[in-house]
Amino acid sequence: MMHIQTLILGAGAAGMMAAAHSGPGVVIIDHAKAAGEKIRISGGGRCNFTNIGTTPAQFISQNRHFAKSALKRYTQWDFINLVSDYKIAWHEKTLGQLFCDDTAKDVVAMLRAEMDKAGAQLMLNTSISDIAHDGTHFIATLTRDGTETAVTATNLIVATGGKSIPKMGATGLAYQIAAQFDVDVITPRPGLVPLTFSDDRFKLLAGVATPSNVTTNDTTFSEALLFTHRGLSGPAILQASSYWTEGDAITVNLIPTADLYDKLRSARTTSPKKALTTIMSQHLPARLIDYIKDEFALHGNIADHSDVRLQAICADLASWDLLPSGSEGYRTAEVTLGGVNTDALSSKTMGVKSVPGLYFIGEAVDVTGWLGGYNFQWAWSSGWAAGQAI
């Protein structure tokens, strides 16, 4: 029998952060063969580890106030200082997104070093079963290489993430533990995920990217849109997908910079004999214009089109309504929306109000960030908050 102070389930971003801040007597387990695997592959191998502009406004939750406390107490600047202390070089790519100059492995190594400094014991290739609570302690069985060890712990921090990318070890264990302890779970669903269409309508456009505004359920994102074999992707769609549920339409504005009308009018004066599609291909991808020319009636020479007609074309391009049939699902979703209902948790400690010593952190909780480093910031902030409480 192993007696410890704190057992942490999941050595991902949130679990490692908590392990580094939970004081002595910490064991952190993971069924994977390495810690921080999502960190390692994130941001194309360079890890978009936070966002300079992080505020609670970039997080989705049934309780939009819940994330405020943790984000305020452990901020993006705290994590930037930590990264800088470890002399990990970083740069801002776009929209406040910070990436490692070199490799995401530096962030994993930094967290491993912080855990070592705190004396936390990491057990990989380890699974957990038979979790119970005897009123004072959590009791469980850990299994590694076929050997079972019974463990008792005063605190149990659940940091096993959501359901996204099962191939990387996502299991939904957090939801099972929540159910066992009568903690409500908001139905999980894939977020930051490409949207699909049941027909092959965009197959011919696969690989074409264009600036856009994408709106769904009154929320608009201005970023790139990417056509794929199965539908739509790119940052604008990934962001919108977190606000989209099956049956909802999306509206795509293909001319977000809004001066196309003026450009078409002036082309009508300077090059009246040019085809409308030729002129438009100077401002939008030619393959896209070729694809939409029938749907938007982009026929004839530019000189054939009155101001009213040009205005109508621009209006159509600015409000292209589409009805996705689904999403690529957990197979490729970067995050899981929903999760442990924040009503059950203290926003200061991430502790379950009705079960002293039980904590949920990171993606397992019903707090989901936008694309752009916000989800790691939530993992750092919530992991730190739980660690401080122990």
Identify the residue among 6, 22, 76, 160 touching ligand FDA (CB under 6 A): 160
Smallest gap from Cβ 354 to ligand FDA, in A, equals: 22
363 sits near ligand FDA (criterion: CB under 6 A): yes
Smallest gap from Cβ 15 to ligand FDA, in A, equals: 5
114 sits near ligand FDA (criterion: CB under 6 A): no
Q: What is the rounded distance in angstroms from the CA atom of residue 223 to the CA atom of residue 40?
A: 25
Q: What is the rounded distance in angstroms from the CA atom of residue 50 to the CA atom of residue 42?
A: 12
Identify the residue among 6, 19, 22, 43 touching ligand FDA (CB under 6 A): 43
* CB nearer to ligand FDA: pick between 56 and 285: 56
Identify the residue among 173, 237, 238, 289 touching ligand FDA (CB under 6 A): 173
Q: Residue with CB nearest ligand FDA? A: 12
Strand partners, 360: 158
42 sits near ligand FDA (criterion: CB under 6 A): yes
349 sits near ligand FDA (criterion: CB under 6 A): no
196 sits near ligand FDA (criterion: CB under 6 A): no
Residues 198-237 that bind ligand FDA (CB under 6 A): none
Q: Coil, strand, or helix at residue 59? A: strand
Q: Coil, strand, or helix at residue 331? A: helix
Contact between 58 and 370 (Cβ < 8 Å): yes
Q: What is the rounded distance in angstroms from the CA atom of residue 212 to the CA atom of residue 193?
A: 17
Of 54-62, 214-222, 291-299, 372-380, the segment contacting ligand FDA by CB under 6 A is 372-380
Q: What is the rounded distance in angstroms from the CA atom of residue 184 to the CA atom of residue 206?
A: 41
For every residue of 253-278, DSSP letters joined together read ES-TT--HHHHHHHHHHH-TTSBHHH
Residue 289, judged by CB atoms within 10 A of its CB (0-12, 13-18, 19+), counts as buried
* CB nearer to ligand FDA: pick between 10 and 324: 10
Of 4-12, 19-27, 273-281, 305-313, the segment contacting ligand FDA by CB under 6 A is 4-12
53 sits near ligand FDA (criterion: CB under 6 A): no
Smallest gap from Cβ 31 to ligand FDA, in A, equals: 4
32 sits near ligand FDA (criterion: CB under 6 A): yes
The Cβ of residue 323 has, within 10 Å, a number of other Cβ atoms equal to: 11
What's the half-sphere exposure (Cβ side, CA atoms, 13 Å) at 47?
Answer: 27
Identify the residue among 231, 235, 373, 387 touching ligand FDA (CB under 6 A): 373
75 sits near ligand FDA (criterion: CB under 6 A): no
Q: What is the rounded distance in angstroms from the CA atom of residue 227 to the CA atom of residue 233?
A: 6
Of 60-68, 158-166, 196-204, 229-237, the segment contacting ligand FDA by CB under 6 A is 158-166
Q: Coil, strand, or helix at residue 146? A: coil
Closest CA to 147 of 123, 171, 168: 123
* CB nearer to ligand FDA: pick between 157 and 264: 157
The Cβ of residue 295 has, within 10 Å, a number of other Cβ atoms equal to: 9
Q: Cα 83 vs. chain centroid, distance in angstroms?
A: 21
Residues 6 or more apart in contact with residue 110 via CB below 8 angstroms: 82, 83, 86, 88
Residues 316-345 that bind ligand FDA (CB under 6 A): 334-335
151 sits near ligand FDA (criterion: CB under 6 A): no
Distances (CA, A) of 377 to 16, 53, 263: 13, 11, 42
- Residues of this chain that interact with ligand FDA (CB under 6 A) are 9-15, 30-32, 37-38, 41-43, 47-48, 127-128, 159-161, 164-165, 169-171, 173, 334-335, 362-364, 373-376, 379
